[in-house]
Structure formats: C-alpha cells, structure tokens
Chain A
Amino acid sequence: MKRDVIVALSFLIAFLFIAYAVTARNVLGIGGAELRPLGEFYLSHSFAHEGLTSHSPEVVTAIVWNYRGFDTLFETFVFFLAIMGALSVLRLDGEQLKQARELEAAMPHRMMDLIVRATTKLVVIMIVAISASIALHGHLTPGGGFQGGSAMAVAALLLFAAFSKFTLERKGLTLKHTISAYALGLAIILATVLAPVFLYGGKILEINLLPGETGLFNLDVGEYTAVTFGFLTVFLVLGIPEWVFKAVLRRELND
C-alpha cells in the first residue's frame, strides 16, 4: 500500500516536471515557425544532390534511401527474423499438421452470416486496391512498400475473421504458397539492392535501374510482396484454432 503511494507520487512529480519543461520552457522546440538546420539540409539536398540516386521528389523516401539505405535494408532483416521466430515457435510438423486437418474435417462446418461474408468480400477488394496504390505510388507520394503491406495485412485479418483459416487454405492460400511468395519478395529486394554491382560496377543500394523518378519502384514492389506475405504467413500460423492445437498437443503427450 505504501509502495503504491510512492509510485503514484513519483509518477505525478515526473509528469508535473515534464509539463513545466514542455509548456513554460519549451525544451522540445515544438511550435516554431523556422526549420531546423538539419531539416533544411535534407529538404534542399536530398533529391537535387550529386551522386544520390533515388530520384524521389518525396523527401522522406529520399532520406530513407539516400542516407539511410542500410538502415532500411536491416529493417527488412529484423522483420524477417521476427517472422522466422514466430514460425519456429508455433510450427506444427507434418504428422501434427495431418492430425489438425483431420480434427478440422471432423467438426461441423460453421459459417458467418451472409451479410458479413458479402460485405467482407467487397471491403477486402477495396483494401487491396488502396494498399496497392499506397505501395506502388510510394516513391512519389507518402507511403511505400511497408505501409501498403501493412494495409494488406488488415485485409488478411478481415478474411480470417469473416471466413476461417481453413477456408482460405481450401482456396489455395496455404503456408507453402505464402512462404514462397515471401521468399520471392525478399529475392526482389535483394536483386534490386545488388543489381548495380553486377550491372555496371556501382555500389550497392545505388538504385538507378529505372528511368526518371521511378527508381524506387521495384524496391516498393519487393517490399510490398514481402510484407504482405510475411504477415499472411504469421497469421496462418497463429490462426490455428485453440482446441485443435490443444488436441494435437494432448495426443503428443499421450504417445
């Protein structure tokens, strides 16, 4: 009881101190009309500078590829590692997967209401269109591969909620297919990153394969594919119903 009071008091004091520093002293410099020197440098140099190759009129994208290209690349690696971690923890081996299929086939097939299913189909088509526009136009407007892929993941979640994991698998969206598509996306990214080295002896991440302002287009496509199918892979693995998983685990314990 006494400890709770001390914790609450210290949080209150910290909050009051921060509030004073932010409002009265403005330590963060929020609300100024002039630009910071670093921001001005990036705004004026990022797409007009010699030797920078993303050719993007959108300054955020230009910074991300011209000055922080390796960072963005390693970000993809981190995402890859997270997905591989999830897969390796939740994976069922071949025998267990067969048991899970049998259990699912034995259960009566229940479906959501017709209204829910029809609406979901319409909404999913719209989300796919919007996410494609976010991703494939990402080198010119706000957005990019990861953002479009995240929007696509929402469409996948809707499909999982309105239909089921097993319905999607019957339609052909199996784990094998999503992992293949994920690998394809990663391969596109790797090819785009390494292509300048082999094509004309440039440095890696020197993206001027396509003419004009479209230099980042194939990277966007690769990232979009990778993120979409990476999320789908995780959802397919996470989407195994709880009772199926428990029954499979119990059988393993009994053996």
Chain B
Amino acid sequence: MISLLLAYITITLFAMILLGIYGVATRSNLIKKIIMLNVMGDAINMLFILIGYRLVFPVFPPIYESHITFEEFLSRAVDPVPQALVLTAVVIGMAMNILLTTYAIQFYRLHGTVDARDMAEVVGGEDL
C-alpha cells in the first residue's frame, strides 16, 4: 500500500519534471520560463528526498539523541546523504532565482517587454 503510494508520488514528480522542461522550452514569457524552471527544480529536489526515505516504522530523522541506542538509531534513521545534497541545490536555486528575476525586471524596465520572441527586435539586433 505504502509502496504503491510512493510509486504514485514518484511518477507525479517525474511528470512535473517533464512539464518543467516543456514549459521552459515552449513558453516565450520570461517570467513563465522562470516559474517552470522552479517547478522542475523543486520536483527534482523532492525526488532526491524521496530516494533517501526508508520504509520502516517508526522512521526517525537523522538526529542522534542519547535516549536511544546507536543500533536502534541505525535501524530507524532515514538516509542523510540526499538531504545534505539537496541543501546545496536549494541555495543555488535561490541565487539563480535572484539573478534571473533581476535580469527579467531590468529588461522589462528598459525595453517594455519580457517576451523572448520580441527580444531581437527590441534590442535592435539582427533577426535570429
């Protein structure tokens, strides 16, 4: 039952990743591109966390407390490695968001559009 639920969640997350790729590729509005990039990134992070989950009951967070024995801790705690990896990805995603939003806003202020199709025309470059 639980493993079926996990499979459903995994498939949903993969669908979200594909949706994010599709949105980044096909939407021409820069803000929508950023939103879809975030959807994709969050789905990937979620998938990482899910890989580290263990099907035991009760499951502990990876924090060692002195009132449980070390063997019990090892047999109950979830995998800490994916969480440590996602920590980095979240920070980098935040920095990426700041930079992308800044550029989109500045582009709008200078040229009055955030549409990727209009960019070549608005900036005055040659037709791509």
Closest 10 CB pairs of A and B: A82-B95, A39-B79, A59-B62, A86-B102, A59-B80, A63-B84, A31-B3, A23-B7, A57-B64, A82-B98
> Considering only CB atoms, which chain A residue lies closest to B64 in the complex?
A57
A245 touches B87 (CB 8 A): no
Chain B residues with CB below 8 A from A112, complex form: none
Q: Digitize A64-103: 1 where CB-to-B-CB distance is under 8 Å, 0 elsewhere.
A: 1000100110010011011101100110000000000000
Most buried by B among A35, A245, A249: A35
- A39-B80 in contact given A23-B7, A59-B64, A86-B99 (Cβ < 8 Å): yes
> Considering only CB atoms, which chain B residue lies closest to A14 in the complex?
B18
14 contacts between A and B (CB under 8 A): A11-B22, A14-B18, A22-B7, A30-B10, A30-B51, A31-B6, A33-B54, A35-B54, A36-B81, A39-B81, A44-B70, A78-B92, A82-B99, A242-B109
| CA A142 to CA B61, docked complex, whole Å | 9
A169 beta carbon closer than 8 Å to chain B: no
A249 touches B3 (CB 8 A): no
Chain B residues with CB below 8 A from A14, complex form: 18
- A19-B11 in contact given A31-B6, A31-B55, A142-B61 (Cβ < 8 Å): yes
| CA A85 to CA B79, docked complex, whole Å | 36
A32 touches B55 (CB 8 A): yes
> Considering only CB atoms, which chain B residue lies closest to A57 in the complex?
B64
Q: In whole Å, how far is B9's beta carbon from the nearest beta carbon of chain A?
A: 9
Of residues 236 through 255 on chain A, the ones whose CB sits less than 8 Å from some CB of chain B are 238, 242, 245-246, 249
| CA A19 to CA B7, docked complex, whole Å | 9
A43 touches B77 (CB 8 A): yes
20 other A-B residue contacts (CB within 8 Å) besides A38-B79, A82-B99 = A14-B18, A18-B14, A23-B10, A31-B55, A32-B55, A34-B54, A39-B79, A43-B74, A47-B64, A57-B63, A59-B80, A60-B87, A63-B80, A71-B88, A78-B95, A85-B102, A89-B102, A142-B61, A238-B105, A246-B109
Q: In whole Å, how far is A218's beta carbon from the nearest beta carbon of chain B?
A: 19
Question: Which B residues are closer than 8 A to A by beta carbons?
Answer: 2-3, 6-7, 10-11, 14-15, 18, 22, 26, 47, 50-56, 61-65, 70, 73-74, 77, 79-81, 83-84, 87-88, 90-92, 94-96, 98-99, 101-103, 105-106, 109-110
Question: Which A residues are closer than 8 A to B by beta carbons?
Answer: 7, 11, 14-15, 18-19, 22-23, 28-36, 38-40, 42-44, 46-47, 57-60, 63-64, 68, 71-72, 75, 78-79, 81-83, 85-86, 89-90, 140-142, 144, 146, 150, 234, 238, 242, 245-246, 249
